[in-house]
Structure 1
Amino acid sequence: MTARDSGGAGRAKGEGRAAASFGAFVRKPVERDPAASAEAQVPAVAEPAESAVCPDDVVEVGAIVDAYGLKGWVKVAAHADAGRGGDALLSAKRWWLQKGAERRAVRALRAKVHSDHIVAQFAETADRDEALALRGYRISISRGEFPALEADEFYWIDLIGLAVVNEAGVALGTVADMIDNGAHSVMRVEYPVDGKSGKDGKPLVGERLIPFVGVYVKTVDQAAKQITVSWEADY
């Protein structure tokens, strides 16, 4: 797993709401080679201006770090590599850009992998100066535009918040975050520490780190919002 900044805090996306941060996807339990198509250029069809209403399911997926070339292309640092979830940027037609309180919609005409970045051309940028003006904007796209995964694959964003129980039915907590340790993904599961509170008077919260691999993760039931693991409460 080579995702970057995958466990960051949520970013504001509107009045009183926060956008979840995007990580990558994880495989369970069968490992397969990543798709080899990440280098292909994927065209996106421009959408009419009247569709530019920010959907409720936008997820932050990266940031614009520089201009690319002279014709209005931008260079993007994605939170996950293409082939590991960053593919969402290659296929999404509408990108939502935000910097501070400012947010705008742009139409992605083309996007492709270039070295360790993604480069994209917008309908709204015609030259390098316009592209440079977009440096520092964070990028969100609709969760509905993420590429479909196989049955044993999951985006991190869909695992966060799920309840975790062991095979005996003992509640172990809730997935608060996902961590990339280089070899595989790890769930950071938070649970309340009974009868204990911190100096601020709030209940203490403990954590468990459970590798997201088949030997431990048995089922992921997104409809029931529950993950079943082979893991003891005293681990």
Structure 2
Amino acid sequence: MNCALHSEQALLYDSPSITIRKSISRNGGQPFEDSDVLVLSSRSTSDAHSQGSTQLCLDLRLSKPLKPDSTIQWGFAGIRVTLSSTPLRFRWNHYIDSQGRDGPPDEGTMTSCDGEEVETGIGINPETGEEEKYEERWIDQPVTPATSFAFLTSSREPSESTGFIAILGDHALAMRQNYFPDDAEFQAVRMRISTSSSSEVLFKQNADTLLPLLEYALSSIDSWKGSPWQRGQEITLQEDRWTVWDAGMTGEHNYLI
């Protein structure tokens, strides 16, 4: 049974987004790209450039070439918070993280250049284990209008969630991490969604139970028939309870609940 929560939920603004990383450079070195990086982000609780605005995001970085048994370079999911608008600066709160949740704060300053978003900050270089300056260049991919999207959390509060699902455009991501008794088991699935043929599993790790959940979510969205899930709604995926952080049809501007 699916039911809507009765407590008031914040309205969401702007549009969900699909972002890929073009390159990264460290300590002023030459830019390179050794990972296939996909970030799916929900709509925001206010204009994304406004201080305090939040959005749900899933970020999965896989070794190239992308294949079902690629290696996770980094995967995390949680809430992005706008720390300031001038300069535009974000913090990513990692509620699950393939590298563990005890790392330094993940913060970066954003500028726009030649149609790309340039992120600068200080982060851990996985090859050296040292904090280094970095510059990442990001590109937003177009989102097809009038397609379904959904962002789900395994608990009503994202900070208490051990599982996250995002479905947007041609992409679907699912991640889960149970911290007890072993926080080393990071589960992840990435799929390509097709309306003309069967959807394809591009990558999976420890996903014997996670993949069926994602496939069930995709099947449930296909049966919406014009009535999307509501923000704050509790839904059942197989026998698991999940909460809708955001859902709807791309290109629609009616965000009332």
With the shorter chain as reference, the TM-score category is under 0.3
Larger relative contact order, structure 1 or 2 (CA cutoff 8 Å, min sep 6): 1
TM-score for the superposition, normalised by structure 1: 0.27
Higher strand share: 2
Q: Which has the larger radius of gyration?
A: 1
TM-score for the superposition, normalised by structure 2: 0.25
